[in-house]
Structure 1
Amino acid sequence: MVEKKSGTYTGYTEARKAANAKYEAETVERISLVLPKGKKAIIKAHTEHTGQSINGFINEAIDEKMEREGGVDHE
């Protein structure tokens, strides 16, 4: 039997899953995005090349467009 050291990662527990779900419910909103076939792969390739997440890229694009158009404060 292998002994685990104190503080060793034990995996994604049910308690961690519940904590993550509670955090997300309190702090984020989700939106569904529909794209033409193949566009997701193009966006993914671009974000991998720039070292950015797809989510970060989309949020940045939305913020930049709203700022250019004088939209409401997004912070």
Structure 2
Amino acid sequence: MSASESQIKATIKYAKEKLKRVPLDLKKAEYEKYKSFSESRGMSMRGFIIAAMEEKMQRDSE
């Protein structure tokens, strides 16, 4: 089932109010390396990046 026009508008409104995009350009070889690693750990690339940032922030604040 496809989304109704009102659902699409609500999703766009939510994204504009609550989310911030963070562009990240990687060389294709780097992307494949990170993607393979994250998948081998059962994580998405987004999850991997967030976990890495959280870990770095925790280490640096100790």
Q: TM-score, normalised by structure 1?
A: 0.68
Q: Does 1:31 align with 2:22?
A: yes
Structure (1 or 2) with the larger CA radius of gyration = 1
Larger RCO, structure (CA 8 Å, separation 6 or more):
2
Q: TM-score, normalised by structure 2?
A: 0.79
| Aligned residues: CA RMSD | 1.8
Q: Does 1:49 align with 2:40?
A: yes
Specify every segment of 5 or more residues in structure 1 that has no aligned partner in the other structure, as ranges.
1-9
Aligned length: 62
- State the percentage of identical aligned residues: 34
- C-alpha separation between the residues in 1 aligned to 2:52 and 2:32? 17
- C-alpha separation between the residues in 2 aligned to 1:14 and 1:45? 36
Specify every segment of 5 or more residues in structure 2 that has no aligned partner in the other structure, as ranges.
none
Structure with higher helix content: 2
